[in-house]
A and B are shown apart, each in its own frame.
Chain A
Amino acid sequence: DTAVSQTPKYLVTQMGNDKSIKCEQNLGHDTMYWYKQDSKKFLKIMFSYNNKELIINETVPNRFSPKSPDKAHLNLHINSLELGDSAVYFCASSPRGAGRQFFGPGTRLTVL
């Protein structure tokens, strides 16, 4: 009965590769987010979608492309991975873009 789930939990890959992270929520929320948490635990918002529409797009390299096929799913595709992309990526959701946010378990991405 996981509220927000992400796959995979761990991702180890070489520089230059392309990878995707998937996120699903079963809470019926309208809004989903992607956050990046670096090695210093700094948690920074990357993107937000509300009912499949992109509403927040922070200054993220365009190698990162989110896709929301429906309001329960938000995937993150990363092209040409770089060492600096190594981090934990969290998906989150909230009702109508407000209120408490429910975080998924995170995906630890390591770029070698």
Chain B
Amino acid sequence: QQPVQSPQAVILREGEDAVINCSSSKALYSVHWYRQKHGEAPVFLMILLKGGEQKGHDKISASFNEKKQQSSLYLTASQLSYSGTYFCGTERSSNQGGKLIFGQGTELSVKP
């Protein structure tokens, strides 16, 4: 029941855009996105609740299609600071005590 992320890795030049996808085989209540830099803790980016919403955070935004059980993270005009591993974390329902099942991660490298 682990969500599947794609691509596994992506290399960008500064200023380029990227999309990271997260797919689940189960119905979802919410999708969380986190970024983890090497040797550091995961850091929260955003959370999307079922309802097909789209959220933005500076030049990073995300969408959630609950019917397809998919979420996508959009990174526009990438900066060097965007490098890291991106994880989606999924919740099956609102009464699971915050239990997140994480995808395998997508490694993003932004080069000058």
A: residues with CB less than 8 A from B are: 31, 33, 40-45, 48, 50, 55-56, 90, 94, 97-106
Closest A-chain residue to B100, C-beta based?
A: A45
Please tell me which stretch of B11-19, B38-46, B62-70, B75-83 contacts chain A, meaning at least 4 of its Cβ atoms lie within 8 angstroms of it: B38-46
Provide the residues of chain B in CB contact with A100, threshold 8 Å: 32, 44, 47
B-side interface size class: 20 to 34
Complex formed: what's the CA distance from A94 to B42 in Å? 14
Q: In the complex, how many angstroms separate the beta carbon of A6 from the nearest chain B beta carbon?
A: 9
Partner of A97 from the list B47, B97, B104 (CB cut-off 8 Å) is: B97
| Residues A103 and B97 in contact, CB atoms below 8 Å apart | no
Provide the residues of chain A in CB contact with B94, threshold 8 Å: 98
| Residues B99 and A56 in contact, CB atoms below 8 Å apart | yes
Starting from the known contacts A97-B98, A106-B41, 8 additional A-B residue pairs (CB-CB under 8 Å) come to A31-B97, A41-B105, A43-B87, A48-B98, A56-B96, A98-B94, A98-B98, A105-B41
Q: Can you report 17 residue pairs joining A to B where beta carbons are below 8 Å apart?
A: A33-B98, A41-B36, A41-B104, A43-B102, A43-B105, A48-B98, A55-B97, A56-B97, A56-B99, A90-B42, A97-B98, A99-B47, A99-B98, A100-B47, A102-B44, A103-B41, A106-B40
| Residues A101 and B99 in contact, CB atoms below 8 Å apart | no
